[in-house]
């Protein structure tokens, strides 16, 4: 029987004016299980006084969700600089026994130690420690004295201990998640752990299933209160944090960057459509080999988790190969792996890009004998060239750096020419395998303009985000009969990955719909 995790999703409310609290709380309550009231976000003392004297008593009385009250200093990621005496007075007025204005209070470690010492000195109880979250934030990186900081927290009377540290690479998540090990906490204590930043996303998704007291999700991405804090609705609906447990199968995307990818939407929709207890997570890393050694390979990983498989994207498709125990012949010849499967105590590598690359052309263009210009010479180009050779097409590689591209072209018996000044009027099909045109810094760029594409019958861009790239617009202006984007290929290769990981046929309609919806949301 599947055990549902007791995940709790906390949504921070950070507004400038006290009068905005009620509306923001109502929106947060729609997505979260708890609400954090970040009173340090209020713009001045007048707004703080109005909030504590006029708003909080009524809001606390009417609350539909438990409240966490936070008044953080700027040194710990807050918006105020206040001395210790004032902070002690604030908590005495708003969270002393019998005067609690919330269900929990988040206090910085140094303040917790100060108040605990004051209680001893005065022989008086100043705060209800059973409701205190003792926190420490490091926005620069993983502190070298992480263990010492956590040991100090354990020595305090606070019931819940919170560590939030910036992850510079995904492997920084290991010591952070390690703090949740049952043996680390005395009986009756709880913990919250967060690796902030894009590289720490997996802690926000998986920590609740490992016993974390809460995980945090923003009202919107624009209202994030910490680096890498994703939308609460994404945590709830996309990653389904309330349903993740110790048995949940975990898949993910290894690359840098990965935040732009729609693959989590495609794969998580597929898992939901097939009723599988599985989740797909972006894994941001600059060192994929270290990630595989320390977190993925069954024989060497330092994390106990039910990892089942990985997608691999730029720039790691070739870099991961030395860490794999087996590689299918096609992927080895292509020189790139985009799919990894955990097979017992080993890792197997596959390339689902190759066969998926030409699937969108079926019924539109006969490839046997077709003259095809392949723009680019990276991992995606190698997969395309392999497939074109299998289809008996006549390929030519065009690249800016012909010296580097020539080895790729020769591998697949294709000539190589300079891209600068190239004309494609003698080709039946032009395929862009470069990242030029991808949403972001490269969105306005194209590997070929209309005057170069004029005379080519078809143009195919492997870039899928945005749905229509500049390359596609140039092809339309050039009068190309067939113009395709990369979404169909993306779904096709993802469907092949799904089959490798689960042994089941992929729900193509659900995957395509999820991709289209996400791309429409990004565009809007």
Residues annotated as part of the active site: 317
Encoded tokens for 154: 């354990």
The answer to whether residues 395 and 412 touch, using CB atoms and an 8 Å cutoff, is yes
C-beta separation of 381 from 397 below 8 A: yes
**Hey, what's the torsion of the CAs at 467, 266, 516, 12, to 10 degrees?**
-100
Token look-up 């010849």 returns 333
Element (H, E) at 459: strand 458-461
Residue listed under structure tokens 């039910």: 306
Could you tell me the sign of the dihedral formed by the alpha carbons of 115, 117, 121, 126, in that order? positive
Rounded Cα–Cα distance for residues 188 and 130 (Å): 10
Question: Can you list the alpha helix ranges (DSSP code H) found in 99-145?
Answer: 109-122
User: How many alpha carbons lie under 13 Å from residue 394 in its C-beta half-sphere?
Assistant: 6
Joined tokens for residue 120: 């001893």
Question: Other C-beta atoms within 10 Å of 489: how many?
Answer: 25
Q: What burial class does residue 301 get, using C-beta atoms within 10 Å of its C-beta: 0-12 exposed, 13-18 middle, 19+ buried? A: middle
Tokens of 303: 């994390």
Q: Is 56 exposed, middle or buried (0-12, 13-18, 19+ CB in 10 A)?
A: buried
């Amino acid at each position: 029987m599947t055990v549902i995790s007791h995940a709790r999703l906390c949504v921070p409310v950070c507004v400038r004016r006290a009068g905005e609290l009620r509306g923001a709380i109502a929106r947060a309550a729609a997505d979260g299980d708890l609400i954090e009231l970040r009173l340090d976000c209020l713009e001045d003392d007048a707004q703080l006084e109005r909030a504590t004297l006029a708003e909080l008593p009524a809001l606390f009385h009417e609350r539909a969700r438990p409240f966490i009250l936070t008044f953080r200093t700027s040194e710990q990621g807050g918006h105020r600089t206040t001395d210790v005496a004032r902070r002690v007075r604030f908590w005495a007025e708003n969270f002393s026994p019998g005067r609690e204005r919330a269900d929990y209070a988040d206090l910085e470690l140094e303040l917790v130690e100060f108040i605990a010492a004051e209680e001893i000195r005065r022989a008086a109880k100043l705060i209800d420690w059973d409701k205190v979250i003792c926190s420490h934030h490091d926005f620069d990186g993983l502190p070298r004295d992480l263990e010492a900081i956590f040991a100090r927290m354990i020595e305090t009377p606070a019931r819940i201990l919170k560590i939030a540290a910036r992850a510079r690479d995904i492997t920084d998540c290991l010591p952070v998640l390690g703090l949740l090990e049952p043996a680390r906490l005395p009986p009756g204590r709880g913990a919250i752990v967060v690796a902030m930043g894009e590289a720490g996303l997996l802690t926000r998704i998986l920590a609740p299933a490992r016993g974390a007291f809460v995980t945090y999700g923003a009202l919107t991405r624009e209202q994030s209160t910490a680096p890498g804090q994703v939308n609460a609705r994404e945590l709830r609906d996309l990653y389904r944090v309330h349903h993740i447990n110790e048995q949940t199968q975990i898949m993910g995307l290894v690359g840098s960057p990965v935040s732009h990818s729609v693959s989590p939407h495609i794969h998580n929709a597929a898992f939901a459509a097939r009723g599988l207890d599985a989740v797909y997570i972006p894994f941001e890393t600059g060192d994929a080999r270290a990630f595989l050694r320390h977190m993925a390979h069954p024989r060497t990983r330092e994390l106990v988790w039910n990892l089942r498989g990985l997608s691999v994207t730029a720039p790691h498709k070739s870099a991961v190969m030395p860490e794999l125990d087996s590689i299918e012949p096609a992927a080895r010849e292509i020189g790139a792996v985009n799919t990894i499967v955990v097979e017992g105590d080993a890792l197997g590598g596959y390339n689902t890009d190759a066969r998926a690359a030409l699937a969108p052309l079926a019924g539109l263009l006969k490839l046997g004998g077709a003259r095809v210009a392949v723009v680019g010479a990276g991992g995606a180009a190698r997969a395309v060239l392999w497939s074109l050779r299998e289809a008996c097409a006549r390929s030519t590689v065009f690249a800016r750096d012909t010296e580097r591209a020539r080895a790729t072209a020769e591998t697949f018996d294709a000539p190589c020419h300079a891209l600068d000044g190239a004309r494609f009027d003698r080709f039946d099909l032009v395929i862009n395998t470069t990242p030029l045109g991808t949403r972001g810094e490269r969105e306005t760029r194209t590997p070929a303009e209309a005057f170069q594409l004029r005379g080519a019958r078809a143009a195919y861009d492997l870039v899928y985000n945005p749905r229509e790239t500049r390359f596609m617009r140039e092809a339309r202006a050039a009068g190309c009969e067939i113009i395709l984007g990369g979404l169909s290929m993306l779904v096709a290769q993802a469907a092949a990955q799904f089959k490798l990981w689960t042994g089941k046929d992929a729900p193509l309609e659900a995957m395509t719909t999820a991709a289209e919806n996400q791309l429409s949301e990004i565009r809007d």
